Structure 1
Amino acid sequence: MVEDTTRLLGLAGLAVTGVADGPDGPVVDLVTADEQARRCPECGTPARRSKGRRVTRPRDLPVGGRRPSPRWCERRWCCDEPGCRRGSFTEAVSAVPARKRLTSRVRSAAGAAVTDGGRTIVQSARDHDVSWPVVAAAFTAHAAAVLPDQPQPVEVLGIDEIRRGRPKWVLDEATGTWQTTVDRWHVGFCDLSGGQGLLGQVEGRTAQVVADWLLARPRAWRDGVRHVAIDMCTIFKSAVGQVLPHAQLVVDHFHLVQLANATVTEVRRRVTVQVRGRRGRKGNREWELRNRLTRSAARMRAEHVDDLEGELAGLPERIGVPILAAWNAKEDLLDLLALARTHPNREDVADLLYRFHRRCAQAGLPELERLATTVQTWWPQILAFIRTGITNAGSEGTNRVIKTVARDAYGFRNPVNQRLRTRCATTRRARGHLDPR
């Protein structure tokens, strides 16, 4: 019976001698069953002379829905080895290390709940009835055991930034300028071709910090990167061109569509102010059509597209004509991007590109000229997207998870802890994925 109770409790190195009912749960009496506990932790010599006994009450996980109260009667031993600096010691086992009032599996469960269970440190501390620092230390230890030191080789790398708060500034009295003391940007590196998720993050948003992270990877790892997906950021473009000159840069089409829609909105707002002398409001048809103007015509019914064009043609000429020109240019760009994953030939790409640039040039609008210049500047990377169909959607999805983790934690004061929590949350593909066993 006693042996069965020992197996049920499952604390290695300890044996159950009795169980009694207590005010807060069962009280379990324990004794040491591991002979190795008699060895001196300093010199390893087995002790032969006892110095007395002491009773400790380590806290353990619930068993059968009830939390037991272990009561361990452990011995103190004298080390008679002449060369040993330690005169005495108390028994300790792997389940309850020396000078610990919690069992190892309590700490492991608390850390795993944060690392792989998606809980916050506060929530895990409440569930396991321990303090915040204990769970934080357990989480750090568990994360170090399950996260790889170096990422596996990647063929398609995604780079994107995310803001973790407002920057802090300090006035430089010598120059009279404000200098940044805390940079609230994080740049993340994601595996877009495999299942590794977030590979790492660096603080700051400069070409140097991006290049330093890439240079910290082995040469064979860098040589294996074939494509790098980014948004239209010159910082990432400069760093990748410096460290990964053989990799092909790909611009994510989401940001191009976003830029085209922003251009249409800028034209609508500008002409409304110029003609009406104020911002658009209810009763102004161009303002009421603002959401339909940013919707793709390919996702609208044909009669709705005809109605939209008719509505714009019915507006005052100084308002309807520029907005219609900007909307047509935006749709030309979307038609060009729609060629991705269709294996287009060079003639089809050249025809749609020429149609877009001709539309922007004939309109004579500064907003469209700026859009056309941006497309021309990033055309090699845009063409790479049309040919490969690679997007940075994985990085954008990772950023969504990062924001969710920050909101659940009510913000982070320590960026190192935030990066570690983020790495765990964005690496697992399913619950129980990050398991050191």
Structure 2
Amino acid sequence: MRIRRYRCDHCGHRWREDTTTAAPERSKLSRGGIRWALKALVIDHLSIARVAAGPGVAWHTANDAVLAEGKRLLIDDPSRFDGVKVIGVDEHVWRHTRRGDKYITVIIDLTPARDRTGPARLLDMVEGRSKAVFKAWLEARPEQWKTGIEVVAMDGFAGFKTAASEALPGAVAVMDPFHVVRLAGDGLDDCRRRIQQELHKRQGREDDPLYKTRRTLHTGINLLTEHQCERLGALFAHEKHAAVEATWEVYQTMVAAYRHRDRAAGEALMSSVITSLTSGVPDLLSELGKLGRTLNHRAADVLAFFDRLGTSNGPTEAICESGSG
């Protein structure tokens, strides 16, 4: 920033403009410029290069200023932990280079989202993705704050689960529906690709029935068009596609459980799926066997969602995704 300098024509005294309220000492950006840069990065999703081009400063100057302002507003604000009862935790790929840890652990306050009093809030971001990283962050919080946490929403990463159970023994772990359904969806895709390879000895092509229905298989039953229903009917009429049909039925049942208006009925439906996949799954349905082992291991966390309705890690995913723009 430019600073005006003055000189008295009568006495020769020199002084310069007082900028202490406009900019930090020795700063190249004013406080207003720094706030603009932070909003441009977070809200408008501009890159640091674009942000730096606005005030005409170097990339490192803009980056350092944005990080310092974000730390001042977020990390250095002790009141951000007030009233937190529900937290969400997720990992995010922060760095796409070989140098340094590419993951960060993101912790979100989901209390406003659950109570429908406002949007979820970012609490902190910690470099790394492990049980030790999350547990260290939790243990650094005051004891009174930790005892007030009721629910921890998370994905299927066992490290987060273990850290939460050790540092927050009074909190309920909830495995988020997004990740549970994604596990089933990944199993469905793996099954479809396996059958494709077994039948045709190659990856799917545009005219292959299994490849043509790859998106339709993930569409909820109540959202299927008449044409899509006919396409699925033709696909499942082929006996060699039986494994895909069985995996698809499990996927659709799990989606229906989460969409059920009666949460008790939804919980019962999900519980029946977990029970059916726990034992007796044929070897030919290897993807369902793998899904069953995961669901059985985390059954309490999966079913806890129905008792803690409204506790979802969706806002955490949204904040992580917006940060990658």
TM-score category (smaller protein): 0.7 to 0.9
Structure number having the greater strand percentage:
1
Instruction: Tell me if the contact between 2:154 and 2:174 (Cα under 8 Å) persists in the aligned partners.
Output: yes
Q: Which moved more, 1:261-270 or 1:127-136?
A: 127-136
Q: What displacement does 1:349 show?
A: 3.4
Match of 2:124 in 1: 200
In 2, the alpha carbon distance for the partners of 1:121 and 1:336 equals 43
Q: How many residue pairs are counted as aligned between the two chains?
A: 305
Instruction: Tell me if the contact between 2:216 and 2:228 (Cα under 8 Å) persists in the aligned partners.
Output: no
* DSSP 3-state at the match of 2:77: coil
1:157 to 87, 92, 117: 87
In 2, the alpha carbon distance for the partners of 1:74 and 1:124 equals 39
Name the Cα RMSD after superposition.
3.3
Q: What displacement does 1:361 show?
A: 3.9
In 2, the alpha carbon distance for the partners of 1:306 and 1:127 equals 53
Instruction: Tell me if the contact between 1:267 and 1:367 (Cα under 8 Å) persists in the aligned partners.
Output: yes
In 1, the alpha carbon distance for the partners of 2:241 and 2:47 equals 53
* DSSP 3-state at the match of 1:336: helix
Q: Deviations over 1:23-69 (max 9, x none)?
A: xxxxxxxxxxxxxxxxxxxxxxxxxxxxxxxxxxx825xxxxxxxxx
Q: Which moved more, 1:192-201 or 1:226-235?
A: 192-201
Structure 2 counterparts to residues 98-113 of structure 1, below 5 A: 107-113=30-36
Work out which of the two has the higher radius of gyration on C-alpha atoms and give 1 or 2: 1
In 1, the alpha carbon distance for the partners of 2:50 and 2:228 equals 51
Q: Which moved more, 1:118-127 or 1:391-400?
A: 118-127
| Distance change (3 Å), C-alpha of 1:211 and 1:313 | closer
In 1, the alpha carbon distance for the partners of 2:6 and 2:165 equals 63
| Distance change (3 Å), C-alpha of 1:376 and 1:131 | closer
| Distance change (3 Å), C-alpha of 1:357 and 1:271 | farther
1:116 to 39, 61, 67: 39
| Distance change (3 Å), C-alpha of 1:367 and 1:108 | same
Residue 73 (structure 1) aligned with residue 2 (structure 2): no
Q: Deviations over 1:65-124 (max 9, x none)?
A: xxxxx441279x9xxxxxxxxxxx985674369xx998x896212212122343655545
The percent identity for this pair of structures is 25
Match of 1:403 in 2: 324
Match of 1:368 in 2: 288
Structure number having the greater helix percentage:
2
What TM-score do you get using the length of structure 1 for normalisation? 0.61
Could you list the runs of 5+ residues in structure 2 that have no partner in the other structure?
Answer: 113-118
- Which structure exhibits the higher relative contact order, with contacts defined as CA atoms closer than 8 Å and separated by 6 or more residues? 2
Structure 2 counterparts to residues 113-152 of structure 1, below 5 A: 113-118=36-41, 122-130=49-57, 135=62, 138-139=65-66, 142-143=69-70, 145-147=72-74, 148-150=76-78, 151-152=80-81
* DSSP 3-state at the match of 1:115: helix
In 2, the alpha carbon distance for the partners of 1:129 and 1:261 equals 47
Match of 1:213 in 2: 137
Structure 2 counterparts to residues 53-92 of structure 1, below 5 A: 59=2, 70-73=4-7
| Distance change (3 Å), C-alpha of 1:96 and 1:152 | closer
In 2, the alpha carbon distance for the partners of 1:388 and 1:145 equals 34
Residue 258 (structure 1) aligned with residue 182 (structure 2): yes
Could you list the runs of 5+ residues in structure 1 that have no partner in the other structure?
Answer: 1-57, 61-69, 78-88, 169-180, 405-437
| Distance change (3 Å), C-alpha of 1:73 and 1:163 | same
